[in-house]
Amino acid sequence: MIFLEQVITILWKDVRYELRSKQMWTGMGLFALLVLVIFNFTFDLRVDNAAAIAPGALWVAFVFASLLGLGRTIAAEREIGSMDRLLLCPVDRKAIYLAKLLGNMLFIGVVEIVALPIFAALFNVPLFVGALLPIVLLSTLGIAAVGTLFSAMAAATRARELLLPILVFPLIVPIVIGAVRATGTLLAPAVNEPPWLGLIAAFDVIFLTVSMLTFEYVVEE
Amino acid sequence: MRNFAHLSTNNGEVYAGGRPASSMFFLEVKGLKKSFGLKPVLRSIDLTLSGGERVALLGANGAGKTTLLRILVGLTKPSAGSACIDGLDIVRDARQVRHLVGFVAHQPYLYDELTALENLYFFGKMYTVKNIQERASLLLDKVGLEKSARERVAVLSRGQVQRLSLARALLHSPHHLLLDEPDTGLDQEGRDLVEALLAEHTARGGTILFTTHQLERALQLSDSIIMLNKGRIVFQQKTVNLELDKVQRTYQEVT
């Protein structure tokens, strides 16, 4: 019970902090929209190739925007010296990780909610909200699970902005592939496709377990 | 090196370097060492504080004062040696130890975008403080910030932030206060307030270990002073009958 209360308290603090500083959401949202607009101008979109291009553009926008936010969550803690203060509290480190993960998912989720209708309009594709929701949710969980752990690792270094994408991109490749293919299948149904959603869920479980177990050693000296 | 192993508490209890005779609250450091890479920062520190005692840590920049405090609060791991707080090992029992210590560092460890009250609520919940609303209001009142309770930390002055840091450190009623230059940014009224809070804390049997660069202030606030130089304790003495001139001369000689 105390564990859950502490998770909620840290999450509440991060959300309130972000609502007042407005640093992360604005930056992530604008970035995602810019990527979508640039892709829209760059590719020669036609009715017959939209289904092939649109999923890739969508997930590139989501992944890059996510990394902007992931870099900020723990780096902002370190900049104001409060990661130490959080570590000084008698709190289970797993509670800190879980709160940061939920916070990251929430921040990325809001950006995705805003970006999805714009994506549908720009690329002239249907949204399939019901079917897209589990893909977006599970993929966001995987990206945030890895990103939260590695942002804690990168935040302790000087080159954190450079280091975070280098560390995170290779690891989330299976999730990005799964998300792109699963989204593509929605737009242009194909036969004999592997169970992409199941693959993403399996990676989520692995990433989440490993991250929960190692976070303590990453944030403490 | 002048080593005065026999320090007495302000309750008149005398102990000889080991565990205090009767106090429940005590802090004991044995052969503590810390190196960052190949650079030694602390070299075999031995130190004991018992309930009601106030000790000032003096030393030039880089002497190891802040590192010692950070080790005692569990933010930095020692390279060798041990430290116990109320019988709990600071590394092995880190989580329980965190309940027992209050720490004021150079950085305020507060969230700029939250109000003074929200900060105290947040940390109160982290420490599972009961009656957090009453406790937060009481402490804000004590540090003279009752009118700024609903102001964001970002708009508070440096002195007000330091007062709030003190309130944060006292929030969970710790047995031991570790203060890294607690007077930073405080005006005379704030310094008096620190003095009153520290007196109240020790009157309840708590211990205080604080660093300062002001020798006069160290004499005024502590029962004994310890001087560090290059990670070693080079001078340790009770402040009773100790003159400021002598402290200044010794400080210049040993640091």
Complex ipTM, two decimals?
Answer: 0.85
Q: How confident is the model at residue A103 (pLDDT cuts 50, 70, 90)?
A: very high
Residues of A in contact with B107 (CB under 8 A): 80-81, 84
Q: With 70 as the cut, is the pLDDT of residue A87 above it? A: yes
Nearest alpha-carbon partner for B211 in B92, B35, B56: B56
Average pLDDT of A2-21?
90
Residues of B in contact with A221 (CB under 8 A): 75-77
Say if A90 is an interface residue toward chain B (CB within 8 Å).
yes
Nearest residue in chain A measured CA to CA from B101: A88
Say if A2 is an interface residue toward chain B (CB within 8 Å).
yes
Average pLDDT of A71-84?
70
Q: With 50 as the cut, is the pLDDT of residue B13 above it? A: no
Per-residue pLDDT, B143? 94
Is the CB of B113 less than 8 angstroms away from the CB of A17?
yes
Q: Count up the domains in chain B and report the number.
A: 1
Residue B104 resides in a domain: yes
Residue B1 resides in a domain: no
Is the CB of B123 less than 8 angstroms away from the CB of A89?
yes
Per-residue pLDDT, B1? 40
For residue range B212-245, list pLDDT tens digits in order.
Answer: 999 999 999 999 999 999 999 999 999 988 889 9
Q: Where are the beta strands (DSSP E) in A21-174?
A: none
Say if B112 is an interface residue toward chain A (CB within 8 Å).
yes
For residue range B158-193, list pLDDT tens digits in order.
Answer: 999 999 999 999 999 999 999 999 998 899 999 999
pTM of the model: 0.86
Eight-class DSSP state of B45: E
For residue range B68-125, list pLDDT tens digits in order.
Answer: 999 999 999 999 999 999 999 999 999 999 999 999 998 889 998 899 999 999 999 9
CA A35 vs CA A55, B79, B201: distances in Å: 13, 49, 57
Residue B140 resides in a domain: yes
B171-186 in b/e burial notation, b at 16+ Cβ within 10 A? bbebbbbbbbbbbbeb
Residue B168 resides in a domain: yes
Residues of A in contact with B103 (CB under 8 A): 88
Say if B111 is an interface residue toward chain A (CB within 8 Å).
yes
| Sequence-separated (6 or more) residues with CB below 8 Å from residue B252 | none
Stronger pLDDT, A77 or A154, i.e. the higher one: A154
Q: With 70 as the cut, is the pLDDT of residue B8 above it? A: no
Helix (H) / strand (E) element for B37: namely: none
Say if B123 is an interface residue toward chain A (CB within 8 Å).
yes
Range of the domain at B68: 6-254
The CATH number covering residue B44 comes to 3.40.50.300
Interface test with A, best of B69, B72, B109 (most A CBs within 10 A): B109
Residue B191 resides in a domain: yes
Average pLDDT of A109-115?
90
Residue B38 resides in a domain: yes
Is the CB of B113 less than 8 angstroms away from the CB of A20?
yes
Per-residue pLDDT, A194? 85
Stronger pLDDT, A44 or A36, i.e. the higher one: A36
Average pLDDT of A90-112?
93
SS3 B42: strand
Q: How confident is the model at residue A47 (pLDDT cuts 50, 70, 90)?
A: low
CA distance A29 to chain B (A): 21
Q: What is the per-residue DSSP string for B73-117? A: TTSS--SEEEEEETTEETTTTHHHHHHHEEEE-SS----TTSBHH
Nearest residue in chain B measured CA to CA from A13: B122
Q: How confident is the model at residue A49 (pLDDT cuts 50, 70, 90)?
A: confident
Would you say how long chain B is, in residues?
A: 255
Whose structure tokens read 């508490």? B9
Per-residue pLDDT, A82? 57
Q: How confident is the model at residue A84 (pLDDT cuts 50, 70, 90)?
A: confident
